[in-house]
Structure 1
Amino acid sequence: MIKYILQLLIVIPFLVSCDNSRVYEVNNELSGRQWLADSTQSFTFSIPDTSQKYNVYYNLRNSVSYPFRNIYVKYSLTDSTGEMLEGKLDNANLFDAKSGKPLGDGLGDVFDHQFPLLKNYGFPAPGQYRLEVSQYMRRDTLPEIVAVGVRVEKATATN
């Protein structure tokens, strides 16, 4: 327990530091470090400026005990009327295929990953959007996935 508190104390300053490009970022902790197949993670965010392009990412946090080297994630982006604008299946590597070493940024036995979904994306209208993310593995219960999140940021020439 103390190990996790120390991890939080180290990570929190980075999370609250200034980030002018971030429009939205939320990470949902998963109960029992498991992601159930029927537990779609839903994130609702506002886009005020359609002249601006945006980058959309999904975040994953897993432990080194995660039993696979990759994860299949399905996502869908819908507008405020419920119309699906984007959607696909993504295969994300969490561990190196040859060495088995964890990828991402690690602290202790937990590693954070940020995977791009949409780069330089132009939203069609200002308003509310919903991004739903679900695991699409061959297991109903996927162990050692600690958190799932979404980040939306203003696209710039450097990102």
Structure 2
Amino acid sequence: MLRIINRNNLVISCMIALFFITSCDKKRVFDEYLPISNQKWNKNNALQFTFPVEDTIHEHNLFINIRNNKEYPYSNLFIITQMDFPDGTVIADTLEYDMADVTGKFLGKGFSDIKENKLFYKENILFPAKGMYTFKIRQSMRKNGKVEGVENLEGVTDVGFRIEKE
């Protein structure tokens, strides 16, 4: 009898936990991660996220999510993004984000060697049309005084793209 009660409690606890996990993310519209093979992000490897847009009335926030480990050798990150719209319009941006503070401690959340950074990409935007959009991102790091880019950026484990309702 005691064993049955413990199993029932476990099942109920799991259901409650699942409810809270799923209900706490009501803002999420799209959220996807792509792994970086061998944790070396090649400068020619543009990661691509394709997503449908149905809501052209409400504002959204767009985020770039970066997971890095202790092998990441820089305090910042330069990336080039491209957003392809259903009508053929293309918007490209070159962006820089801080990855560590002035003491060299990595920013982001996480208790292990992996830190997750949720970086603002676009804030309070309205999608102009319904349809399929494509977001592309590639690293564009350079060493000081060098023209050519870093061929393989080490220490990035995953790259994600997230859209939230405002």
The interval holding the TM-score normalised by the smaller chain is 0.7 to 0.9
Shift of 1:114: 0.9
How has the CA–CA distance of structure 1 residues 154 and 124 changed in structure 2, closer, same or farther, with 3 Å as cutoff?
Answer: same
- Tell me if 1:47 matches 2:58: no
Give the equivalent residue in structure 2 for 1:92. Answer: 97
The residue that corresponds to 2:119 in the other structure is 115
What's the TM-score once normalised by structure 1's chain length?
0.83
Q: Larger C-alpha radius of gyration, 1 or 2?
A: 2
Q: CA RMSD in A?
A: 1.9
| Consecutive unaligned residues in structure 1, runs of 5 or more | 1-11
The residue matched to 2:110 in structure 1 has which SS? strand
Residue 78 (1) aligns with residue 84 (2): yes
The alpha-carbon deviation at position 34 of structure 1 amounts to 1.1
User: Given residue 62 of structure 2, which amino acid in structure 1 is its aligned partner?
Assistant: V
Alpha-carbon distance in 2 for matches of 1:74, 1:140: 15
Runs of 4+ that moved beyond 2 A: 12-18
Q: What's the counterpart of residue 67 of structure 2?
A: 61
In structure 2, the gaps of 5 or more residues are 1-17, 143-149
Query: Aligned partners of 1:39, 1:101: CA distance in 2, in Å?
Result: 27
TM-score normalized by the length of structure 2: 0.80
The structure with more strand, counted as a fraction of residues: 1
1:131: which partner in 2? 135
SS at match of 1:106: coil
Number of residue pairs the alignment of both structures matches: 142
- Matched residue type, 1:125: A
Which residue of 24, 30, 39 maps to 1:24? 30
Pairwise CA distance, 1:13: 9.9
Distance in 1 (alpha carbons) for counterparts of 2:105 and 2:44 = 29
- The alignment-based identity, stated in percent, is 30
Residue 154 (structure 1) aligned with residue 165 (structure 2): yes
Seen in structure 2, the aligned counterparts of structure 1 residues 15 and 134 have a Cα distance that, compared at 3 Å, is: farther
Query: 1: distance between equivalents of 2:19 and 2:34?
Result: 18
